[in-house]
Structure 1
Amino acid sequence: MARAALLVGAALAVTAVCLTLGLMVGSRGIAPVAVWQALLGTADPEARAIVQDQRLPRTLIGIVGGAALAVAGVVVQGHTRNPLADPGLLGITAGSSLAVVVGISALGLTTPAGYLGAAFGGAALGTIVVVVIGLAASRRRDASPASLVLAGTAVSALLGAITGIILLLDSAALDLFRFWTVGSLSAGRDLDVFLAALVPLAVGGVLAGAHARALDVLVLGDDVAAALGRNLLPTRLLGLVVVTLLVGGATVAIGALGFVGLVAPHLARRVFGEKHEVLLPASAMLGSLLVVVADVIGRVIISPAELPVGVVLAVIGAPALLVIIVRTRKTSA
């Protein structure tokens, strides 16, 4: 009970910090009193437009999208027993992003609901392709972590190349497509996008919470999990559904962001430990904070222009990945 109360309090505090940063900080300075007035609808039209139409939607989208990617990272790492796994490294994010781009280019998708269907299909397809290749490469009943990472890297590169080719051939729509490849909290993201992605993300989050005990068993290995009475096939399928919902919804909300599903779970493990019923919500909190902070940095670092949040996360995440690799090798040794 005390741990649950602590997590709830921490979640509320992190959400408050994210909202404060997202609403207060930007290329255009607005006094805190004016921000509050804008939320209440009593400020001048310019302040209301900046706060209500720009900063509030992108902050809410960053909170839920970052949480979704972090939770998806925990689930992927639990299923693969690989601390270097995340949706971006395993081709899931690239598949979801490519499907959205293809849907917009070939099918003329223009609504958040249309983006959601394409993103979910792409996320599922990317997951299946990586798992199949990993199984074939490892020649084992269960794909080895190294095989999955190598297969995911290759699939991500291939899907990213296809996405780039589509963008080059459809230059007239480049401005509409480009935020799917770099990740952004602006570029047409509004409350409609937030609301469209909220339901599948909420369902994925609830299923992930129900999946916590299974993840505690899976990290011990498939043989141990089977000996403890765990039916592996339904467990794997549930994990696939969870990751598909979370990554598909997050891609619609914030684009193809890398490193969130890798860095946030590792930070959470160092603070909260390995038990998944605590690790999942803790990772969600840190994922939200990581995305919002990266977005705020992108707003001000080259003001009045902006850096996409995906670029900022790459600068943060690449060194973090190297540190994680070194730590993992030392632990293995």
Structure 2
Amino acid sequence: MESMIHQAERRKRSRGLLVIVIFIVLIIAAFIVSMNTGFIRLSPMDVMRTLFGQGTDQQHLILFEFRLPRIVISILIGAGLAVSGCVMQGLSRNALADPGILGVNAGAGLMVMLYVSFFSSTVSGSVFLLPVLALIGAGATAVLIYALSYKKGEGLVPTRMLLVGIGVAAGISAAMIVLTLRLNPEEYQFVASWLAGRIWGTSWKFVVALLPWLILFLPFVFYKAKVMNVLNMGDQTATGLGTAIERERLLLLAAAVGLAGACVAVSGGIGFVGLIGPHLGRRLVGPKHQILLPVSALAGALLVLVADTLGRWILQPTDIPTGVVVAVIGAPYFLYLLAKTKV
């Protein structure tokens, strides 16, 4: 019996490693296609020559200053948002939890808009400040949702958390619309692009601004994978196993909010990544977070990279915001999950 359990565990581990390898191969393929996609087309040979320093000045500018930073940003925010969604689904034990649906993204966006509206006409000089502001907005929203969802004697109620999050997101979105009335045309154009989910941080300085937050929070979440498995067993079981439930829940929630806030500050209002990535990972490798978290990160990275590439390719020379492409995929999937979930 014990040997059969070990064999089953080895098969699951092997399957998980295979899924990770497949996702990495797909991301590399999408990476290569994305480097060749744009208004000014670069052939694969042009890309290879430019990567090895043999391209023209124009090709070097297009590849290294425009496309590569955007591709790297797409991968980073996809991974960050997917892991954030995976943590929120695990903590709330609700399949519909997602930083966008729960209003965390909206809270981060509100702080960015307040800064643009009252303190700065441009954001070019505020690259490193925006993730901090977005983190504050996302954190305040998460605290509000947590406080309104918590019920004495029952703890965090998943259904209440989802409904409160949707209500808070709606309220914040209304406030953001009101704020747009005082913006000048330049500020309004930025905010409109942000709300649509256009990846506006497309230079290396945005990569540098985002990377430290991911380096801080992602390893912490992966380290807490076993704790998340215990929390999924229920509060009574987790307490019996010696887990400090509320402390661990708050730490993980803070990490999820930090990931979402930092990514939203650079990517704009891209939703559904934190919903689709974890769900796809769970279907492929099961609920164990040791393998689910990295698979979710890779799935989210692939989703955003493909969506951004499609957005740049479909209506050239006009870009479709990445958030719109993701929403075309994510909204029907969300309705499907909503129909399948017993609320």
TM score, norm. by length of structure 1: 0.92
Q: State the 1:181 CA deviation.
A: 1.3
Q: Which residue of the other structure, out of 171, 175, 180, is the alignment partner of 1:162? A: 175
**Distance in 1 between the 2:54 and 2:242 partners?**
60
Aligned 1:304-323 pairs, distance under 5 A: 304-323=317-336
Cα distance per residue 1:3-58 (max 9 Å; x no partner): 47546634542441232132122233221111122233321222222211211111
Residue of 306, 309, 312 corresponding to 1:293:
306
State which drifts further: 48-57 or 72-81.
48-57
**Deviation at 1:284?**
0.3
- 1:134 and 2:154 correspond: no
1:112 is paired with a residue whose SS is coil
The residue correspondences of 1:1-333 to structure 2 (distance < 5 A) are: 3=14, 6=18, 9-10=21-22, 12-108=24-120, 110-135=125-150, 138=151, 140-172=153-185, 173-185=187-199, 187-329=200-342
Tell me, in whole angstroms, the C-alpha distance in 2 between the residues paired with 1:46 and 1:188.
21
Contact 1:298 1:308 in 2 (8 A): yes
CA contact (8 A) 2:37 2:309 kept: yes
CA contact (8 A) 1:193 1:252 kept: no
Larger Rg: 2
Query: Is there any run of 5+ residues in structure 2 with no aligned partner, and where?
Result: 1-9
171-180 vs 125-134, greater mean Cα deviation = 171-180
Deviations 1:245-293 (A, max 9, x none): 2112211231221000001111111111110000000000000000011
SS of equivalent to 1:85: coil
TM superposition shift of 1:144: 1.5
Q: Out of 156-165 and 55-64, give the one that drifted further.
A: 156-165
Q: CA deviation at 1:97?
A: 1.1
3-state DSSP of counterpart to 1:155: helix
The residue type equivalent to 1:150 in the other structure is: L
Superposition TM-score, scaled by structure 2 size: 0.90
> What one-letter code is carried by the residue in structure 2 that aligns with 1:45?
D
C-alpha distance after superposition, 1:192-222 (max 9, x if no partner): 0111110111211101101111111111221
Q: Could you say what secondary structure the match of 1:214 adopts?
A: helix
Q: Which amino acid aligns with 1:91?
A: G
Supply the AA of the counterpart residue of 1:126.
T
One-letter code aligned to 1:155: V
For 1:278 and 1:254, locate their aligned partners in 2 and report how far apart those are by CA, in whole Å. 26
After superposition, the Cα gap between the structure-2 partners of 1:216 and 1:273, relative to the gap in structure 1 and judged at 3 Å, is same
Matches of 2:148 and 2:17, distance apart in 1: 43
Unaligned runs of 5+ in 1: none
Query: In structure 1, how many angstroms separate the alpha carbons of the residues matched to 2:50 and 2:267?
Result: 24
The more displaced of 235-244 and 193-202 is 235-244
Distance 2:248 2:64 in 1: 42
SS in 2 for 1:113: coil
